[in-house]
C-alpha cells in the first residue's frame, strides 16, 4: 500500500522505516527542511537499534523523505499523523500540530483515505480531527479517522514495532478497519517473519501478534492507560524500595518474590532514580488532565508523579550521605539518557540530578555512549569524557545514573585504582552489593543495604595522598 507518515520524529521515523520494511511504499513528511535533507542523505537524528539498517535498505526505494504534504497525501491510501503533542503549562496535550495537519490533509483529499492517529493523544481526538476536516471541506464519505497507538520503547522501538505484543486498531467503520488490517497483514499473517532477513526476533516475542479492533475512543484510552500503569509499577517499586531501606530488606529479593506472580510480572519492577523520557511524564499529565475534564479526579496519577519526583531527591540524599558535603567535589557520572539504548535526554532523571549537582558546586565528569551531544546543549557546565574510566579518573565518587549494559560490566579493579575514593552510588542497581564490597568499594544502591569492604583497603600514601574516606552521615 501507499502510506504517508506525517512527522519524522521518534514515532514517525520508526513507523515509516518499519512500514517500508513490511513492503509498503512510504512517504515520510516533515516541515523541517533541514531534517528532511539529513534523512535524504541517510543521516539519522536519533539513536535507535536497527534503524540505520532499515534506512540504508529502503531509502530511495520504499521510503521517500519530503517536506511536501499535498502530493504524497493525495497519492496515499492511509495517512498517519505522528506529530508532536507536547504538554501545555497546565499539563494538557498541545494538539495544535495535530489540528494543523488535519486541516492540511483535508485540502489534499481527492479519494478515500484513512487518517490514523499515531501520536499519543487524549480520548476524543479522533472526533475533533474528523470535525476539523469536515469544516475544512473534506467530504464525509471520502475519509475515516482511526486510532492506532504505538507501544514503542526507546532503544528497542524497531523490534517493538515489528514484534509487537499486540496491534491496537481503533476504527469506527469496517472499511476503515480493513485498511489497517491490510497494512499490518505481513505481521498478523506471519509472512514477514518467514522472509530471508527479518529484523532479529527478540526473546519472548509472540508470532504472529494479535490485532485488536476497538472503537477509536477505546484505542485512545488504551495508550494512555498503558503508559500510566507502567509508570505506576515503577513508582510502586520505588516506594517499596524506600521501605526496604528503612527496615534493612533487599528490594532485589522482594522483586523476585512478587515478580514471579503471573498476575504481576517482573517487567518494570526495577527500582532506581525514577522514570523519564518523552512518554511517561507527558502522558501521565495529559491523562490526569483528561480525567479532570471528564469530572473525575484521578488521585492515583498524582501520587505516581509525586513519588517519581521524590525519588530523585532521595538519591541526591544518598550522594550527600556518601560524601558528607557536595561543594567542591569531583564526581564521575555514568549515563545522561533517561534509559539505556537511546540518546533521548527529555525529562531524564540523570540530567536533572547533574543539573542540581552543578548548582551545588560539584565538578561533574560525565560519560554516556549516545546522549552526550544532546546533553551538551542543556548541561554546558559538565565535562564530557571519552569513556567511563576517563570520567572516573581522580573522582571523589562514581554515580551510575543510566542503565546502559556496558556500565554493568566495568573492570572493577581498574575503576577502583582510578577513583580518588572507592565510593560508588548506583542509581540503577547494576551491581551486587557483595561484589562491590569484595572489590573494595563503599557501595550505595536503591532499596538494598549499603555495602562496605570487610576490611579497610585504603591505599598507602605512596600510592595516593588523600584524606580519609568520609564517614556516612545518617
Grid-cell match 513492503, residue found: 23
Adjacency order of strands within the sheet including 423-426: 383-384, 363-367, 330-334, 397-400, 423-426, 442-444
- Cβ–Cβ contacts within 10 Å for residue 137, how many? 10
- Cβ–Cβ contacts within 10 Å for residue 121, how many? 23
Phi and psi dihedrals of 230, rounded to 5?
-65, -40
| CB burial readout 55-65, b (16+ within 10 A) else e | beebbeebbbb
- What is the C-alpha separation between 273 and 7, in angstroms, rounded? 31
Q: Are 121 and 220 in contact (CB under 8 A)?
A: yes
Max CA distance (Å), the chain: 84
Grid-cell match 514471579, residue found: 260
SS3 for 349? helix
Q: Are 116 and 81 in contact (CB under 8 A)?
A: yes
User: Angle 299-323/216-247 helices, nearest 10 degrees?
Assistant: 40
Grid-cell match 514503542, residue found: 152
Q: Which residues are catalytic?
A: 279
SS3 for 453? coil
Q: Which long-range contacts (CB under 8 A, 24 or more apart) does 428-434 make?
A: 428/270, 428/272, 428/273, 428/335, 428/400, 428/401, 428/402, 428/403, 429/251, 429/252, 429/270, 429/271, 429/272, 430/400, 430/403
Q: Are 70 and 34 in contact (CB under 8 A)?
A: no
SS3 for 87? strand
Q: How many CA atoms lie within 13 A of 269 on its CB side?
A: 16
SS3 for 304? helix
DSSP-derived letter for residue 20 is H
Amino acid at each position: 500500500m501507499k502510506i504517508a507518515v506525517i512527522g519524522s520524529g521518534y514515532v514517525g521515523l520508526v513507523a515509516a522505516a518499519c512500514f517500508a520494511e513490511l513492503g509498503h511504499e512510504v512517504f515520510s513528511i516533515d516541515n523541517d527542511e533541514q531534517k528532511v535533507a539529513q534523512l535524504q542523505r541517510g543521516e539519522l537524528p536519533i539513536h535507535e537499534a536497527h534503524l540505520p539498517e532499515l534506512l540504508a535498505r529502503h531509502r530511495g526505494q520504499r521510503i521517500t523523505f519530503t517536506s511536501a504534504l499535498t502530493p504524497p497525501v493525495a497519492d496515499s491510501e492511509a495517512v498517519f499523523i505522528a506529530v508532536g503533542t507536547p504538554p501545555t503549562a497546565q499539563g494538557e496535550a498541545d494538539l495544535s500540530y495535530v489540528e494543523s495537519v488535519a486541516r492540511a490533509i483535508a485540502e489534499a483529499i481527492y479519494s478515500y483515505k484513512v487518517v490514523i492517529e499515531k501520536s499519543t493523544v487524549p480520548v476524543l481526538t479522533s472526533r475533533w480531527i474528523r470535525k476539523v476536516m469536515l469544516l475544512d471541506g473534506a467530504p464525509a464519505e471520502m475519509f475515516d479517522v482511526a486510532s492506532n497507538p504505538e507501544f514503542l520503547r526507546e532503544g528497542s522501538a524497531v523490534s517493538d514495532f515489528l514484534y509487537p505484543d499486540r496491534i491496537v486498531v481503533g476504527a469506527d467503520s469496517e472499511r476503515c478497519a480493513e485498511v489497517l488490517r491490510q497494512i499490518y497483514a505481513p505481521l498478523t499473517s506471519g509472512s514477514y517473519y518467514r522472509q530471508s532477513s527479518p529484523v532479529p526476533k527478540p526473546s519472548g516475542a509472540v508470532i504472529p501478534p494479535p490485532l485488536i479492533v476497538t472503537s477509536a475512543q477505546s484505542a485512545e484510552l488504551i495508550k494512555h492507560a498503558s503508559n500510566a500503569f507502567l509508570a505506576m509499577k515503577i513508582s510502586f517499586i520505588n516506594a517499596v524500595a524506600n521501605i526496604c531501606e528503612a527496615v534493612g530488606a533487599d528490594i532485589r529479593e522482594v522483586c523476585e518474590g512478587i515478580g514471579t506472580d503471573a498476575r504481576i510480572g517482573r517487567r518494570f519492577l526495577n527500582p532506581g532514580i525514577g522514570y523519564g523520557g518523552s512518554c511517561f511524564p507527558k502522558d501521565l499529565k495529559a491523562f490526569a488532565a483528561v480525567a479532570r475534564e471528564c469530572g473525575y479526579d484521578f488521585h492515583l496519577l498524582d501520587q505516581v508523579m509525586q513519588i517519581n519526583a521524590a525519588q530523585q531527591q532521595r538519591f541526591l540524599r544518598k550522594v550527600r550521605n556518601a560524601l558528607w558535603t557536595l561543594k567542591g567535589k569531583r564526581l564521575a557520572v555514568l549515563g545522561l539518557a533517561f534509559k539505556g539504548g537511546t540518546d533521548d535526554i527529555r525529562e531524564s532523571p540523570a540530567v536533572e540530578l547533574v543539573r542540581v549537582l552543578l548548582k551545588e558546586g560539584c565538578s561533574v565528569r560525565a560519560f554516556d555512549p549516545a546522549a552526550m551531544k544532546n546533553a551538551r546543549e542543556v548541561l554546558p557546565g559538565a565535562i564530557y569524557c571519552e569513556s567511563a574510566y576517563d570520567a572516573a579518573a581522580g573522582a571523589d565518587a562514581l554515580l551510575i545514573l543510566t542503565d546502559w549494559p556496558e556500565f554493568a560490566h566495568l573492570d572493577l579493579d581498574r575503576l577502583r585504582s582510578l577513583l580518588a575514593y572507592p565510593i560508588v552510588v548506583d542509581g540503577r542497581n547494576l551491581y551486587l552489593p557483595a561484589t562491590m564490597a569484595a572489590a573494595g568499594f563503599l557501595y550505595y544502591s536503591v532499596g538494598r543495604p549499603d555495602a562496605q569492604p570487610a576490611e579497610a583497603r585504603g591505599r598507602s600514601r605512596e600510592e595516593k595522598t588523600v584524606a580519609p574516606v568520609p564517614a556516612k552521615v545518617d
